[in-house]
Amino acid sequence: MRQTSQISKLTSLSASLAASLFLAATSFSSAVSAADPAPAAAPMAEAPAAKPAVPGKPKADPAAGEALYSNGDASRGVTACLTCHGPKGQSAIATWPKLSAQHAAYTAKQLKNFKDGTRANPIMMGMVATLNEQDMNNISAYLASQPVSQGVAQNKDTIELGQSIYRGGIAAKGVPACAACHSPTGAGIPSQYPRMGGQWAEYNAAQLLAFREGTRKNSTQMTTIATKLSDQEMKAVSDYMAGLH
């Protein structure tokens, strides 16, 4: 009986000791958990900075260009272009160049050059004074959409010389072939070189002379070429270009 009582006491003591050890272990675990900081949350990826909006270049409006070309705008002092350059850009006399089917970028550049003074012409400088850049782009777009003007070479005596210069240049003088930039048919290259085919021969000859003499200064390339041409060569190639199509 005494032995049973002792066993009972030992069992009770063991249970009490086990409970104490369990509580101690639990407390230690809690302390460790409290001491360890929680893992930092992964940083959120920064959203890419929004690019500032770039305003688009206003589109050319051929209809608005036609209105200005054909009728002008009295409220702004804009004179109708067809007065000199003819309906649809097909002028009737060589004093005024044909503008129909000319590349829009080229025509717009010439109008801007007249306005900023880099191409001098008293009449045209007055005409563009009341035009803004959008007007110029509109008029240029309208003219570019018009039918190509046709022309013919007039001087049979110089046709071969003109053709030779246009297609092959003048190697002895370092003059490049005109066709290299203005194309074999005189159609030019959009945004780079103007259309020459069908243009009045007298007008083109006058421009070559202006480049040579330095009175037209808005193309370094053409100034360099023109300074190497004689009067006869200018007239011959200009007459030949008039018949290209």
> Residue range 15-26: average pLDDT?
39
pLDDT at 89: 98
Rounded to a whole number of angstroms, the distance between the first and last alpha carbons of the chain is: 135
CA distances from 8 to 19, 79, 101, 166 (A): 17, 124, 118, 127
pLDDT at 191: 86
How many alpha carbons fall within 13 Å on the CB side of residue 93? 3
How many alpha carbons fall within 13 Å on the CB side of residue 139? 30
Residue of 135 and 40 predicted with greater confidence: 135
Residue of 125 and 42 predicted with greater confidence: 125
Q: How many residues does the chain have?
A: 245
Domain ranges of the chain: 62-144, 159-242
Options 1.10.10.410, 1.20.810.10, 1.20.1250.20, 1.10.760.10; CATH for 62-144 is: 1.10.760.10
Same fold, 62-144 and 159-242: yes
CA proximity to 139, closest of 87, 90, 67: 67
Fold of 159-242: Cytochrome Bc1 Complex; Chain D, domain 2 (1.10.760)
pLDDT at 179: 98
